[in-house]
Chain A
Amino acid sequence: MCHTADYPLPWHLFGGILCITMYKKILAAVNEHLNSEVAARYALHLAKEHNAKFYICFVAEKCMSQHNCRSAEDAVKRLFNEAKDLNVHAESIAEMGDPVADIRKIVQHENISIVFAATRREDVRRRFYSGTIARSLSLKLPCSVALVRVVHSGRVHPGKILIPLKARIDHVSERASFVAHMAHAFGSKVIVFHAPKPLTKFFHGEMHLTPPEWEKRTSQDIAQFIEYLKRHDVLHEGMLLPGRTARNITIEAFAKRHDLIIMGASERNLLTSLLKGNPVEEVLRNTPCDLIILKPRHED
């Protein structure tokens, strides 16, 4: 059995086979914006799927106007009622202070497994999210974090979820579990997508490989991820499209009308991002559908 910190692990290793336990407590951070409410609905459905306790948290900053406070409180009320309708055990928390610090305190005090927060348009405008609440939550919270970018209000429940994966995946089990539960929660089909770098040779240039040839080169991590989905009866399909990662992800999502993208948080540091670009950031800017960026904290 592996342990990492002073919060409950969502699963345990038995003889090398991953057995999933559930996220026990899920927190959604809500504010005055509609997108935070939509993001919280994803959390709510995941909570229902995990039979977890659902926390709806609103932290008002000191400078917040009365109107905005009221909007956020209304959103909390609506979510609370929705949770009741879905038979999900919910608790609402309203505080005044610094959102990041206060949420961190709540996470530690309540042993929260995962926090959902919506990204804002202004976050997307900033390079590498620097100085945004979303980035602070992602970095500072001692639990998994799902940042949700809401861009399309017409797709109420996702029917098709696109999962872009790179060849080497960390926290493969938590990611796979998160995806499987989201898919079960909404009855969605999962499309596992990999955009490998095109194969090139100096004198030959780019080599053309057909999809079956690319499939033979699928990494072990991706194979493990797919195996996990299979074992958990998640309707899924594999897809390979060599080329520029971010561009291919958005093209795939636009072309096939996917409803939700779930991808891992970027592991590139500032220098690497400057030199090589940052696919997560690019997808965040151009996504045609809602996007969840998962920062898993639990070890495999």
Chain B
Amino acid sequence: MRINSLAKEEALRQLVSAEEGLSEAEAAKRLAENGFNEIREVHRTHLSLRFLSQFTHFLAILLWIGAGLAFLSDYLHPGEGMAMLGFAIVGVILINAVFTFIQEYRAEKALEALKKLLPFQVRIMREGKEKQIHSREIVPGDIVFLSEGDRIPADIRLLESSLLKVNNASLTGESEARLRDHDPFQGELIESPNIVFAGTTVTSGSGKGLVFATGMSTEFGRIAHLTSAVESGLSPLQKEIVKATRVVATIAALVGIFFFALGFAIGRDFWDNFIFAIGITVALIPEGMLPTVTLALAMASQRMAKRMALIKNLSSVETLGCVTVICTDKTGTLTQNRMAASKIWTDNRTIETKDYQPQNADMLMYAALLCNNARIVDNAYKGDPTETALLRLARETIGNVAAKRISEIPFDSDRKRMSTVNRIGDRQYVFSKGAMENILPACSRFLLDGAVQEMDDAFREKAIAAYHQLMDMGLRVLAFAYKEGSGQKAEGEGPIPHPPVPNPRSLESDLVFLGLIGLEDPPRPEVPDALTKCHGAGIRVIMITGDGSRTAVAIAREIGLVRGEPVVVEGADFGKMDDRELREKLSAKEIIFARMTPKHKMRVVTILKEEGERVAVTGDGVNDAPALKKADIGISMGISGTDVAKEASDMVLLDDNFATIVNAVEEGRTVYENIRKFITYIFASNIPEAVPYIAYILLKIPLPLTIMQILAVDLGTDMLPALALGTEKPTPGIMKQPPRPRTEHMIDLALIRRAYIFLGPIEAIACMFGFFFVLSAGGWTWGTVISPDNTLYMQATTVCLTAIIITQIGNVFACRTSRESVFSIGFFTNRLIFFGIAFELALQFFIVYHPWGNKIFTTHPIAMSIWLVLIPFAFLLFFAEEARKAVVRRSQSARSTL
């Protein structure tokens, strides 16, 4: 039992209130108990704490320990430069924290947009007097007055109503205003005509009601809570990064500890060992990975914006790439939302609208013209797209008709029909239009070739068959009827300010059936191709529409959304299904949801996510916001979307076009592929950074590479070439592969093998060769101790560093593809690579030849001839990798032949 089912007196008794309203004392008490009537944000972790948490994850803790030990060793052994290292490590933590935070940060503004929909002042009755108060002060039990233009401040049970019409668009997405009344209603509270909800607007009429829910207890509060509390969780990329950093940090820490123990066992000095342990840990941690990922995502989001997809939080870029299901609206997204009348069924035949020949006093066209609330303003049709299409058809067919509307029974989604009473000349007519199942039963006669005949089963069957035939063409079909001489008689010629309320039962009975008009909303031309791409890419597309099932299926077939016999779930059945049943339905290959409202979307998204799908969902209304938040990718409409939907979404479609989603998915997949490319590139350089330390501890040679030099590579020279790899074009066929499964990881064994066992060792050989080449040319002999400020030693470490830079140039080209030859995609097709290399070389020149660079990185200028000695290693790496790819290709094609 709910308040909507109670009689007015009983409702007042339940809330211990009266028609005179509450006393001020009682209202104050209730305000203290219930709190203000306002939208509150769900408690969340403060932004500053969210930022601070970036300093406490596993990798950061490891680095903090490293920095702490570096500062401690500088304190105990001053002059070894350990403090500088400590600062550098802290810098790395800071940079990583900032870049991770940028990726995860998302401004929560949806609630602000929601709050704007509530009013400021309301008229209420207290202590028997009418007064105006701030809407936040109303309490359950208050009596509120409503009139045209008012925004409704709380959930209210109507006690009185006079032609009260409320636009529930902010709650239900329905653009049509609905007529409300105050009689008890035995049904769901949300569908009750005697309830008006907070955040909706009175479009006409007036009323008085009893407040029964305020603030977050209202339906509006419900949307606000769900919008604010529902989280889609970490994106797949964020999860992968967490995994990757844990794996890499653990490997680095274990290797550091292992070699520290080994060095200790073979009798090396404690401090040497200590420097080594920190060095190898720093070398194995790819410090530049997070900043590069973030920057690559930012660049991808720029590219997407050019393709009409505005990305609101960075990690969504990649999430798009692994979407497995897209739940999409139909109207405006798959179709153009340009409704046009296309077919007419009358006099037992179906004809094109262009071939329709009007008769004298064509009642069908009169009904289309007069039972219509669309209007012409400045030569443009304004109003609901269906009504404007009918108005256009009628005006183009019969021109304007001098008629006067006497009264109207508005369209109601429960009755699914509307009626008007019009006077044409000295005659009065009732015109009705609506869904076939609601018009035909109200007709006792039909019009055939201008003559009214008694309705019989044969005609009914013909009409229903025609109705199905039109719907099967993907048309939205409306039935029309009329009768003469009913309704209230109007007096005078001027407009009637308060027309009498017609009785629907008597008015909408004994009608004459006129015919059917089928309206077409043409599909967007790009959509069929986009859907073909989706099918090829293994992405399921689920249409969720308010249209009837036949129309939905026909449209779905026309655009290629379904190929077989889809499972169709209608809104009414949906509400009755439990989760298990719905789960089964959703496992079908092709499924369409028809006669649905936005409130159903969140349930569909939740179940799909529970089943392990990665879900993108489109939405434009206020009550789409929770589903948009829940989905992995919430997509709002830039043109038709409300501010609330836009704020709650991850991506805004600037053109409302489904094809743009598919383009964005392609971009997302490319981003993932490119991230793997530059991670391979970055990881490969970890080996030449680590090998010098292993050689240092095992071979008892001078340290070939300092920690600062490692950081120069990881956070300096590697960055721009890696970013350039992030802008590679998609590999052909990227949209012909199925979505990446959950079990597939960004950093997998194949990537590790390629970077650590193939590319990295070639670079390590180059850097160790360069180091020994300079030392031996300078007269160093094995076992000789050499001081850190010795020029020869500094030149040797500089050459070691330069060797890494040079081989990384070969590596950046090698990493452009994973299997195909680089020559097959065009050597010069990514110009940013060349900019990256230019930057890399410029930075290396600064490090090697500028006094500041020498000071910071303890380097020393080297002869240009040394560069020439190192360059062949870059070619060696590149061609060795080309050879490996050729072998891989050959073995793959051999396997596929078998």
Give chain A's interface residues, CB within 8 Å of chain B: 32-35, 37, 67, 71, 75, 78, 120-122, 151-157, 159, 202-206, 208, 210-211, 237, 239, 247, 250-251, 254-255, 257, 285-286, 288-289
Contact = CB atoms under 8 A, between A and B. Distances in A.
Contacts of A75: 16
B25 interface: yes
B29 A32 contact: yes
B247 interface: yes
B159 to A, nearest CB: 14
- Among B25, B34, B742, max chain A CB count under 10 A is at B34
A33 B29 contact: yes
B16 A67 contact: no
B288 interface: no
Contact of B1 (A35, A37, A156): A156
A255 B14 contact: no
20 contacts: A33-B33, A35-B33, A78-B16, A121-B34, A151-B217, A152-B217, A153-B213, A155-B189, A156-B6, A159-B2, A203-B246, A205-B239, A205-B243, A210-B611, A211-B583, A247-B42, A254-B225, A255-B606, A257-B222, A288-B221
A155 B222 CA distance: 15
Contacts, number: 105
Contacts of B213: 152-154
A154 B16 CA distance: 12
A288 B213 CA distance: 10
Contact of A211 (B32, B246, B610, B626): B610
B246 A154 contact: no
B810 interface: no
Contacts of B3: 153-156
Interface in B812-870: none
Interface residues of B, number: 53
Given A203-B250, A205-B239, A250-B229, 5 more contacts: A152-B213, A153-B3, A239-B579, A286-B42, A288-B225
A183 to B, nearest CB: 14
Contacts of A206: 233-234, 239
Contacts of B141: 34, 153
B225 A153 contact: no
A121 B246 contact: no
B496 interface: no
Interface in B362-409: none
Contacts of B42: 247, 286
Contact of A156 (B2, B43, B603): B2
Interface in B579-614: 579, 583, 602-603, 606, 610-612
A121 B15 contact: no
Contacts of A250: 225, 229
A251 B226 contact: yes
Contacts of B234: 206
A73 to B, nearest CB: 13
A156 B14 contact: yes
B34 A210 contact: no
B190 interface: yes
A67 B24 CA distance: 12
Contacts of A285: 43
B230 interface: yes
Nearest to B583: A211
Contacts of A247: 42, 229
B242 interface: yes
A265 B226 CA distance: 25
Given A33-B33, A152-B213, A203-B246, A251 B230 contact: yes
Contacts of A120: 33
B190 A121 contact: no
B754 interface: no
Contacts of A288: 216-217, 221-222, 225
